[in-house]
């Protein structure tokens, strides 16, 4: 079991740092990030009333999910929340036809799913 904990830490480290980093660099410039996202999503089919609140929520969610993954907090729920967040980002990118962003978002989602599969496969009855 000790090998699992060490291996799982190093497997989740890259995606945890990615999420944490995305959130942390945006938090100090939250208003600027929000303005950028709102203007980027102008041609989206997503209602504008949803874009601004999501643009403030996103960096906080990324930072918290990245931190939770880093420390291994409530792994199942953190992975599900992270996959859900990636799915929302994919939906937004599709709505403005930003196909190159979708590639990175899908890579994150697949990585998170692989982490979940690995974690679930090696659990011995505990429900974290």
How far lies 125's CA from each of 9, 33, 37, 67, in Å? 19, 42, 42, 24
pTM reported for the whole predicted model: 0.90
| Domain extents in the chain | 2-121
Q: 32-67, pLDDT tens digit by residue? A: 999 999 999 999 999 989 999 999 999 999 999 999
């Amino acid at each position: 079991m000790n090998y699992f904990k060490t291996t799982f830490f190093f497997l989740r480290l890259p995606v945890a740092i990615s999420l944490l980093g995305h959130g942390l660099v945006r938090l100090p410039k939250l208003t600027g990030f929000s303005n950028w996202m709102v203007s980027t999503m102008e041609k989206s089919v997503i209602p504008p009333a949803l874009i601004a609140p999501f643009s403030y929520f996103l960096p906080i969610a990324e930072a918290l999910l990245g931190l939770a993954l880093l420390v291994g907090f409530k792994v199942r729920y953190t992975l599900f929340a992270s996959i859900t967040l990636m799915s929302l980002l994919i939906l937004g990118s599709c709505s403005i036809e930003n196909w190159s962003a979708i590639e990175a978002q899908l890579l994150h989602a697949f990585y998170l799913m692989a982490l979940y599969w690995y974690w679930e496969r090696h659990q011995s009855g505990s429900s974290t």
